[in-house]
Structure 1
Amino acid sequence: MESAVEVERGTAPIKEQFLTSKEKFHAFLDSGRPGQKSEDAERDSGEPEQKRIRLDSEGAPEEPEKKEEEKKRRRGQNKSRPRMKPQSYEGRRLCPSIIQERDTKCFFGDKCRFLHDVSEYMRSKAEDLGEQCYLFNTFGKCQYGVTCRFAKAHTSAEMKNLVNADLYKPSADRETVRNHLDKDLQRRLRKKQVSFSGAEAFLKTISRGKKLEEEQRDPETQESAVPPVKTVGPITDADIIKLRPCEKKQVDFRDKLYLAPLTTCGNLPFRRVCKRFGADVTCGEMAMCTNLLQGQASEWALLKRHASEDLFGVQLEGCFPDTMTRCAELLNQNIDVDFVDINSGCPIDLVYKKGGGCGLMTRTTKFEQIVRGMNSVLDVPLTVKIRTGVQQNCNVAHKLIPEMKKWGVSLITLHGRSREQRYTKSADWDYIDTCSQLAAPVPLFGNGDILSYEDAMKARETGVSGIMVARGALIKPWLFTEIKESRHWDISSSERLDILRDFSNFGLEHWGSDTQGVEKTRSFLLEWLSFLCRYIPVGLLERVPQKINERPPFYMGRDYMETLMASQHVGDWIQISEMLLGPVPNNFSFLPKHKANAYK
């Protein structure tokens, strides 16, 4: 194939025979799209063509005719993307008491808002998506019964849920996934009946220190009349009984591959995929401490841990010592984790403007109180993730790291960019090297721009104790295997589709195999596909390895599926999801982080 476009600066170098133009690329995909022939015939007959509907930043259909200037202005990241409420894809849902085939009647009786007539529900239920149910084949029973979108595999003619006695274990779910939110704990949290004795003891030392400082001030000059005493500030061993460092659980972090806590995409099914490819350390998505203290089920879901995650931690976000310390004590008593991480590197405005995330790096007094307070109530190591600083040319991490060593952190992770840089510049690994020497003997992990084993080798030449992988794992989760085996894996499109199939099955297991669970799995799959499309197969590259900040040009893959996976259009991601999870519902919509790329 002749070269259709010239490679520009910042564009990944692909072999000339694979390069093409945008028009030819989409024409090729359309030629192999299911149902495309009937659409072509419809177009030839003069009928209006059905076009993909795009959404604007507010979620409303975009006007069909827009000026070129407006289109250019609207391109880029959708930072003001509205929070999408969970959609309902069924008119009436079946009552849980019927799904679970309980012997007792529904607790709500006539006031229940769900259906109790199975035959009526079945008349409105969407068609099954397949003949085999992953949950039934794996566990011997599907807890979603007749509402499962693969129900034919495990329901009798009388609409009763079948059980495979050879596979079924009643406590299988509790064995494979831990850290569930107990209903009694949720009730006590909402009624503020949970005791935080350890946190309260620490917080008293802070308030006592403030009172002593105020009493010692000269009323005329407002200056301290006597030098500050040792009881001012952080907690001491004399104030409360606490674990000695040697009594805390020890974790060997050195020379590990650490999958970063990734918001939205770093869910439990995705972490399971990465564990299969060799990730050593995994961490849950960033959880807001205030939401956890209120007993929000959606926030507690971020703390769930799969049995395959042998070294697992959770990441907390907060900006005040009282809430962070109470939350640490709550988790210490109620969930199973190997470490707790403080997010002091989140760059988003929602978090930063409240003083959390990167904001903690500029509020060192609060930061110290948070670290010391959480350390006083935790039986597991406390780790911290930071950036180089807030402003682009004003690094402060090297000043903070020696202080954090005194505060008692067990691991520091440094992302080699500032908040202002986001992902526009390359990570500064020379600065990470400098900081790693300051951190010793506390291990410091480096993070930024790791997309190949060669990138990992260069990172290890610095003084870091280990490597954290973030975007690289989203673009190619088999990166962990490449690093451990020191090779470039020219993975085929069929192997990549098998990875997506595994993710879909894990998603059905985690979120459910009913309509709501299937569509939730699809939404997270689409979010992940928005990163996977950036991967360029090794066999197509002019120069190996691919760099993380080089954008792929339009190119033809070695088969149709490889070309389809290279598409950055959401409509093509939908097509891939339909191969794994069946057709999307009529009212399905998806609004990713890119304004010019939405589906309805």
Structure 2
Amino acid sequence: MQRRAAPQATEGSTVTRATLETRGTPTKEQKKAQRGQNKARRFNKVRDELDLCWRVANGSTCEYGAECRFTHEIPAYLAAKTRDIHIPEMAQITDIPPYAPAQDSLVTPHPDFSSLDLSTVCPVFAETGECRYGFKCRFLGGHIRIAETGEMSLAGDEDKKARAALTAHEVNFVGADVQKALRSRKYAFPTADEYLRQLAAENPEKPKAVPTANSIVIGEPEQEMDVDTSTPAPQPTIQESASPKPTVDEIIAKRTGDAVAPTSQVDTPDVRVRFPEKKRLHWKGKTYLAPLTTVGNLPFRRMCVDLGADITCGEMGLASSFLSGSKEEWSLVRRHPSEKIFGVQVAGNKPANLVPTAEVLAKECGPNLDFVDVNCGCPIDLVFKSGSGSALLDSAGKLGKILIGMNQALGEIPVTVKLRTGVKDGKNTAHKLMPRLATEWSAGCITLHGRTRQQRYTRLADWDYIKQCVEVVRTKEADEDLPPVPIFGGGDCFSSHDYWTNVEASGVDGVMIGRGALIKPWIFTEIQEKREWDISARERLELIRKYSEYGLNHFGSDTTGVNATRRYLCEALSFQYRYVPIGILEQLPGRINDRAPAFRGRNDLESLLSSPDSNDWVKISEMFLGPAPETWNFTPKHKSNAYGSEEGQG
């Protein structure tokens, strides 16, 4: 191919570097920006055309009365409302098109209100005995009562409500009052503040001191930046002055409005839990679902628990966003009662944000939190360049201070660490760091992903190096006569064969499963039963139906919740379509890095579930969530997940 010549400058014209980059061969940065993921995805909330007041929808009285900006007229709302959704039973699903019966054929409309389907079943009501979405529910016909006089009321099942209080209600709801206190920097962090004072006292020669938990800067501000998806809290302006700089105690007193007491009169925090007294994690032989951004939400974790996952962890949350009271970040800590062992993963770049985050997690979620995981493996640029994620692998001293402080702040709740083999390819460092994690900094569990940050997910995971790291840690523990810390490996686990082969060969206590679970969530059943499951298309579709019901219970059964469930179901299908049925493989077991050619399934339904076209994923969602609104569309996160099908997706 002939090389394109660079444009020549002529009299009166200017050729800039930008001009060369746009007209000629793309630069390395431009190529990088164009590949990988769709970075400009937007998912607009879909609402009812006529929006009913939430208080009226739940049968109560609105305090704003006529001044409320939402309608209070229930009959008018029902007249304008989109028809109820009716989820078909699996017996009504076929293996040939159109697969599921049309919604019109399933609906039994009310004679006076055509939007009501009195034969439908509301997943929220069926599980909890009540529906918190009231008249706004898209399955309203399943729990509405209409008297002969025309008066409407919402049904309730007291026995089911009593049982659901223990088995179905999510926990770890952090209220608006706590989030407001965090945003306004009025939340108290006694343990974190005391620990940060200690760090400042240990380094008196440094020109800058360690900030307090509420980000009051002493001396020069730190150069590192936190990754914060919410509005950043304002920082105080540092003015040059000849007067001495205030002490940490004076700044905290100014923040709280209290007078500075002499050191001898200051009440110290409660006696800290010594590291040997922390709750030990007995995880050998247990299956562990990795924390997965976007797709590792509560409905997906709940489905994996049904399929055999023992340990689950919430999506990665940013410490800075937790401390700024982000509603979105705090939603990541919610736990379903079915999750037997549950933890929260946090990412941060210094003790001043991770230690107070640990303290607020212990205070607000302590009884329902089994561990807190520190992310030292995230490879994405946004996190790495802020000093978080895998950047901590090259900052052992800072990481040690973080873990010691978090251990103090969390009390008996263990701190675990997830890391990669190193930052740069060919320069593994985990074998130096892991013994310190286990013996010096009291990590409750260590998980090692067998790739460097630079590798991302290219090349196979290095399980030989994982074995080397396990041996180094076990030798160090034996030399110091310490009990063994659970060590999990990670990378390329896609079958029961992969799992047990890697456990036996490397000496790990288990394998953390990420992409393998995204592509085939039933991998946990395979591991427990030590077999390869040739799952049928109908069985796979039944799991999709279950996910839909779990999503409606978590995201909501109103219009907004239904389409949020649809969005996350499509995110899950963007991975599950990659599964190649065992029955048509030429050799077993299947491998995660194999890119199968186009194939036809053993029936039409199996072919549909293997479609790379994102439009087909939306069609699958419509089987259980009703027709998608005209204003709704889905763009896959990864371009490779729907090659040739992104045109027209918006």
Whether TM-score is above 0.5 comes out as yes
- Report the counterpart of residue 464 of structure 1 in structure 2: 508
SS at match of 1:425: coil
Contact 2:129–2:164, Cα closer than 8 Å, also in 1: no
Cα shift at 1:247: 2.4
Give the letter aligned to residue 293 of structure 1: L
Aligned partners of 2:303 and 2:530: how far apart in 1? 20
1:27-78 CA deviation, whole Å, 9 max, x = no partner?
A: xxxxxxxxxxxxxxxxxxxxxxxxxxxxxxxxxxxxxxxxxxxxxx899854
- Report the counterpart of residue 72 of structure 2 in structure 1: 116
Verify: 1:506 aligned to 2:550, yes or no: yes
Verify: 1:361 aligned to 2:354, yes or no: no
1:186-201 to structure 2, matched below 5 A, reads 186-201=179-194
Cα shift at 1:183: 2.8
SS at match of 1:177: coil
SS at match of 1:526: helix
Cα shift at 1:250: 2.3
- Report the counterpart of residue 382 of structure 1 in structure 2: 415
Aligned partners of 1:78 and 1:172: how far apart in 2? 43
Decide which moves more: 114-123 or 292-301: 114-123
- Report the counterpart of residue 593 of structure 2 in structure 1: 549
Aligned partners of 2:636 and 2:544: how far apart in 1? 18
1:129 aligned residue (75, 78, 85): 85
Cα shift at 1:416: 0.4
Give the letter aligned to residue 394 of structure 1: K
- Report the counterpart of residue 107 of structure 1 in structure 2: 63
Contact 1:325–1:370, Cα closer than 8 Å, also in 2: yes
Aligned partners of 1:117 and 1:185: how far apart in 2? 34
Verify: 1:143 aligned to 2:132, yes or no: yes
Superposition CA RMSD, Å? 2.2
- Report the counterpart of residue 222 of structure 1 in structure 2: none
- Report the counterpart of residue 259 of structure 2 in structure 1: none
Cα shift at 1:401: 1.2
Give the letter aligned to residue 539 of structure 1: G
Cα shift at 1:468: 0.6
1:190-589 to structure 2, matched below 5 A, reads 190-211=183-204, 241-335=271-365, 336-378=368-410, 379-405=412-438, 406-440=440-474, 441-461=484-504, 462-589=506-633
Cα shift at 1:115: 1.9
Q: Specify every segment of 5 or more residues in structure 2 that has no aligned partner in the other structure, as ranges.
A: 1-30, 87-119, 209-267, 475-483
SS at match of 1:427: coil
Cα shift at 1:240: 8.2
- Report the counterpart of residue 221 of structure 1 in structure 2: none
Contact 1:504–1:580, Cα closer than 8 Å, also in 2: yes
SS at match of 1:467: strand
SS at match of 2:472: helix
SS at match of 1:312: strand
Contact 2:50–2:81, Cα closer than 8 Å, also in 1: no
Decide which moves more: 287-296 or 411-420: 287-296
SS at match of 1:446: strand
Aligned partners of 1:556 and 1:290: how far apart in 2? 48
Contact 2:46–2:632, Cα closer than 8 Å, also in 1: no
- Report the counterpart of residue 141 of structure 2 in structure 1: 152
Aligned partners of 1:416 and 1:485: how far apart in 2? 25
- Report the counterpart of residue 45 of structure 2 in structure 1: 87
Aligned partners of 1:192 and 1:109: how far apart in 2? 34
Aligned partners of 2:47 and 2:178: how far apart in 1? 31
- Report the counterpart of residue 169 of structure 1 in structure 2: 162
How many residues end up aligned between the 2 structures?
504
Contact 2:450–2:491, Cα closer than 8 Å, also in 1: yes
Cα shift at 1:120: 2.5
SS at match of 2:154: coil
1:365-406 CA deviation, whole Å, 9 max, x = no partner?
A: 221211111011112111000011111111111121122221
Cα shift at 1:138: 2.2
* Percentage of matched positions with identical amino acids: 44
1:219-251 CA deviation, whole Å, 9 max, x = no partner?
A: xxxxxxxxxxxxxxxxxxx99832112322222
- Report the counterpart of residue 219 of structure 2 in structure 1: none
Contact 1:95–1:115, Cα closer than 8 Å, also in 2: yes
Distance 1:255 1:200, change over 3 A: same
Contact 1:415–1:447, Cα closer than 8 Å, also in 2: yes
Distance 1:319 1:491, change over 3 A: same
Cα shift at 1:210: 1.1
Contact 1:340–1:380, Cα closer than 8 Å, also in 2: yes
SS at match of 1:208: helix
Give the letter aligned to residue 457 of structure 1: W
Contact 1:251–1:338, Cα closer than 8 Å, also in 2: no
Distance 1:239 1:171, change over 3 A: closer
What's the TM-score once normalised by structure 1's chain length?
0.80
Distance 1:339 1:585, change over 3 A: same
Cα shift at 1:343: 0.5
SS at match of 1:544: coil
Aligned partners of 1:539 and 1:244: how far apart in 2? 54
Decide which moves more: 570-579 or 187-196: 187-196
Contact 1:260–1:469, Cα closer than 8 Å, also in 2: yes
Cα shift at 1:113: 2.6
Cα shift at 1:437: 1.1
Aligned partners of 1:170 and 1:544: how far apart in 2? 44
Contact 1:436–1:443, Cα closer than 8 Å, also in 2: no
Contact 1:76–1:594, Cα closer than 8 Å, also in 2: no
Give the letter aligned to residue 386 of structure 2: K
Aligned partners of 1:422 and 1:74: how far apart in 2? 14
Give the letter aligned to residue 312 of structure 1: F
Which structure has more relative contact order (CA 8 Å, sep 6+)? It is 1
What's the TM-score once normalised by structure 2's chain length?
0.74
Contact 1:201–1:240, Cα closer than 8 Å, also in 2: no
Give the letter aligned to residue 284 of structure 1: G
Decide which moves more: 533-542 or 357-366: 357-366
SS at match of 1:211: coil
1:402-421 CA deviation, whole Å, 9 max, x = no partner?
A: 22221111111000011111
SS at match of 1:561: helix
SS at match of 2:325: coil
